[in-house]
Amino acid sequence: MISLIIPLYNEEKLVDELMDRCLGVLNKIGEDFEIIFINDGSTDHTLEKLLYHKEAEKRISIISLSRNFGHQAALTAGLDFASGDFIAMMDGDLQDPPELIEEMYLLLKSETWDIVNGKRRSRKEGFLKRVVISVFHKIFKNVSGLNEIENTGNFSMFNKSVLHAFRSLKEKIRYLPGLRAFVGFRQGFIEYDREVRTDTKSKMHLRDLFKLGLDAIFSFSKTPLRICIVLGIIGVVVFLFAGIYVLIAKIFGFALLGWTSTMLSIYFLGSIQLIFLGVLGEYVFRIYKETQDRPVYFVKEIYK
Ligand code: UDP
Ligand code: MG
């Protein structure tokens, strides 16, 4: 059986087309399937529309969360409920073409791969968003030590062993593309062009992307801490020499009033310390979040 997981947040305009295309490809494949929609606290008519389609197609399940928990949490809910042998996850905004699931399925079925990732050959989002995303991918690839992650998002399909691996990852701050690279297995790719969102606006603002990017980097990398240490060491060396110079100046009596240098070093050291505290804070905050051990999402209702 195939499980298709799709998170939705205020996507009422897209539900009909999404449903058509997903059912189209799944019926074409011809295996048994379930589509699990996660209604991530939508405030429009997304849920009503889904329920309407569920009347006609019993293989649709809907998990309605108690409020908006965010994209990654919604996908996690889907992973927890999926019962298929092959599991696909996909955004519900049709930027990822559902038709690719057939190709992904065939690759999994022929046991070429355990995971097939959709790799974006091109994107058609706005310039700023594209730049931010590509800078993030470059940085993340370098600092995380995870290969082959560049230009992959949530769109992917994998088998049951991978699903079990996913479910065993209990961390609360979740960046699924990173976790998917982390679990290993035989990972393959198919390339596609990422569409523009047809008629609605992205639900992820730049602010959300930025937060997701920070979560990704801080949960997969200690590079920010390394940078602090290296800069700290450089600072120590520089100020060691500066200190020696100051002492020599004092001894030989050419020490000036020294207001400028004092002020500069206070500013410099003060601001570097603030940045370092911020970096530490990011990790401490995440440790705090993890130890709170709160569930990633709450389910309000399940329509099976
Ligand atoms: N989404 C969600 N919860 C949110 C934000 C988004 O479930 O808080 C869903 C959204 O409905 C869509 C998918 O996640 O199906 C991807 O969102 P979006 O297209 O806004 O993100 P982007 O493609 O801009 O990264
Ligand atoms: Mg999108």
The torsion defined by the Cα of 96, 101, 102 and 104, in degrees rounded to 10, comes to 110
Contact between residue 193 and residue 122 where contact means Cβ atoms under 8 Å apart: yes
Give helix 206-220 / helix 223-251 axis angle, nearest 10°. Answer: 80
CA of 30 relative to ligand 1 center, distance in Å: 28
One-letter identity of residue 61? S
Ligand nearest to the CA of 204: 1
Pocket test for ligand 1, best of 68, 72, 91 (most atoms within 8 A of CB): 91
Alpha helix segments (H runs only) across 30-159: 46-56, 71-81, 100-109, 127-144
Residues 132 and 239 in one domain: no
Instruction: Return the structure tokens found at 52.
Output: 């309407």
Ligand nearest to the CA of 14: 1
Strand pairing category for 115-122 and 33-39: unpaired
CA of 6 relative to ligand 1 center, distance in Å: 10
Query: Which H helix or E strand runs over 262?
Result: helix 259-292
Residues 22 and 164 in one domain: yes
State how many domains the chain has.
2
Vertex 182: Cα angle to 180 and 183 (nearest 5): 70
CATH of the domain at 165: 3.90.550.10
Residues 71 and 136 in one domain: yes
Residues 42 and 74 in one domain: yes
Residues 210 and 250 in one domain: no
Q: Give the number of other Cβ atoms within 10 Å of residue 18's Cβ.
A: 24
pLDDT tens-digit profile, the chain (304 residues):
999 999 999 998 899 999 999 999 999 998 899 999 999 999 999 999 999 999 998 999 999 999 999 999 999 999 999 999 999 999 988 888 899 999 999 999 888 899 999 988 777 777 888 888 888 888 888 887 777 677 788 999 999 999 999 999 988 888 888 888 888 898 888 888 887 776 667 777 778 888 888 888 888 787 888 888 888 888 888 888 888 888 888 888 777 777 777 877 787 788 778 788 888 888 888 888 888 888 999 999 999 8
Residues 58 and 180 in one domain: yes
Residues 227 and 202 in one domain: no
Q: What is the pLDDT of residue 139?
A: 84
In sequence order, what DSSP letters do the residues of 207-249 get, joined into one string?
Answer: HHHHHHHHHHHHHH--HHHHHHHHHHHHHHHHHHHHHHHHHHH
Q: What is the pLDDT of residue 37?
A: 96
Residues 236 and 203 in one domain: no
Vertex 301: Cα angle to 298 and 302 (nearest 5): 110
Distance CA 104, CA 88 (A): 9
Distance CA 156, CA 100 (A): 10
> What one-character DSSP code corresponds to residue 11?
-
Question: Which of 261, 256, 177 has the alpha carbon at shortest distance from 217?
Answer: 177
Domain that holds residue 69: 2-220+294-303
Q: What is the pLDDT of residue 16?
A: 92
Residues 198 and 56 in one domain: yes
Distance CA 248, CA 251 (A): 5
CA of 173 relative to ligand 2 center, distance in Å: 20
Query: For residue 188, is it left (φ>0), alpha (ψ between -120 and 50) or beta?
Result: beta
Q: Which atom of ligand 1 lies closest to the CA of 203?
A: 20
Q: Which residues line ligand 1 (CB under 6 A)?
A: 7-9, 11, 40, 68, 70-71, 74, 91-93, 95, 202-204
Q: Tokens 């049709």 label which residue?
A: 94
Residues 211 and 286 in one domain: no
- 33 burial (CB, 10 Å; 0-12 / 13-18 / 19+) is buried
Residues 189 and 268 in one domain: no
Q: Tokens 């920010």 label which residue?
A: 224
> What one-character DSSP code corresponds to residue 75?
H
Distance CA 272, CA 266 (A): 10
Q: What is the pLDDT of residue 241?
A: 86
> What one-character DSSP code corresponds to residue 256?
-
Instruction: Return the structure tokens found at 137.
Output: 């991918």
Question: Which of 221, 244, 224 has the alpha carbon at shortest distance from 232?
Answer: 224
Residues 159 and 25 in one domain: yes
